């Protein structure tokens, strides 16, 4: 082929994120939980809210010792995601933190962590709650897809001038 037909551009290949094997959701030791603080403090929304790795690491280690931190582990890798549960919040449980490594985003890690927490909470509680910044549209879409609905606004909760939205999922909701 010659001329214009020879110069037709072929579509460029778009690099796809590397898929990881389905991770197992396991309790995090205090040491493993503490180590997650470095990457969590470096991503949004925590970076924008001014979270620092050292105090976040101390918090994660403390709640891990109480058995309320889970990580998504794939064979031979560091944790791909982390979730923290607070039990006994308004007749339910509360997802105090949910974070996924940026390179594992969009691969169902967050959904698996939420499903694990749901199973634990709904075995004995009526509701599961979570809050997120009102400007965090991606988080709001994610939680709505998981069956959560907005039940309240919490102005100035995390930082002055910022509003958190309180979301709730009942035991019987379907995703």
Class of 68-170 in CATH? alpha beta
| Per-residue model confidence as pLDDT tens digits over 89-107 | 777 899 999 999 999 989 9
The pTM for the full model equals 0.81
Query: Considering the chain, what is the average pLDDT of its residues?
Result: 85
Strand, coil or helix: 4:
helix
| Predicted local distance difference test score (pLDDT) of residue 19 | 54
pLDDT classification of 15: cutoffs 50, 70, 90: very low
How far apart are the C-alpha atoms of 129 and 89, rounded to whole Å?
8
Other C-beta atoms within 10 Å of 148: how many?
Answer: 24
Alpha carbons within 13 A on the beta-carbon side of 73: 13
Where are the extended beta strands (E) located within the chain?
24-27, 69-73, 81-89, 92-100, 127-133, 149-155, 163-170
pLDDT class for 174, splitting at 50, 70, 90?
A: low
Instruction: Show Cβ contacts of residue 143 under 8 Å, excluding neighbours closer than 6 positions.
Output: 130, 132, 167
Q: Where are the chain's structural domains? A: 68-170
Q: Are 58 and 34 in contact (CB under 8 A)?
A: yes
């Amino acid at each position: 082929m010659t001329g214009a037909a020879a110069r037709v551009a072929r579509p460029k290949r778009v690099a796809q994120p590397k898929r990881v094997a389905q991770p197992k959701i396991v309790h995090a030791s205090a040491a493993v939980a503490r180590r997650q603080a470095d990457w969590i403090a470096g991503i949004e929304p925590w970076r924008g809210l001014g979270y620092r790795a050292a105090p976040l690491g101390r918090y994660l280690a403390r709640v891990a010792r109480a058995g309320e931190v889970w990580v998504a582990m794939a064979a031979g890798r560091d944790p791909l995601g982390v979730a923290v549960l607070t039990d006994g919040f308004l007749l339910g449980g509360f997802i105090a933190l949910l974070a996924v490594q940026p390179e594992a985003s969009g691969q169902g890690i967050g959904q698996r962590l939420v499903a694990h927490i749901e199973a634990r909470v709904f075995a004995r509680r009526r509701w599961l709650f979570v809050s997120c910044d009102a400007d965090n549209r991606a988080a709001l879409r994610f939680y709505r897809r998981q069956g959560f609905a907005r039940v309240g606004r919490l102005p100035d909760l995390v930082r002055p001038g910022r509003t958190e939205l309180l979301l709730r999922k009942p035991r019987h909701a379907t995703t």
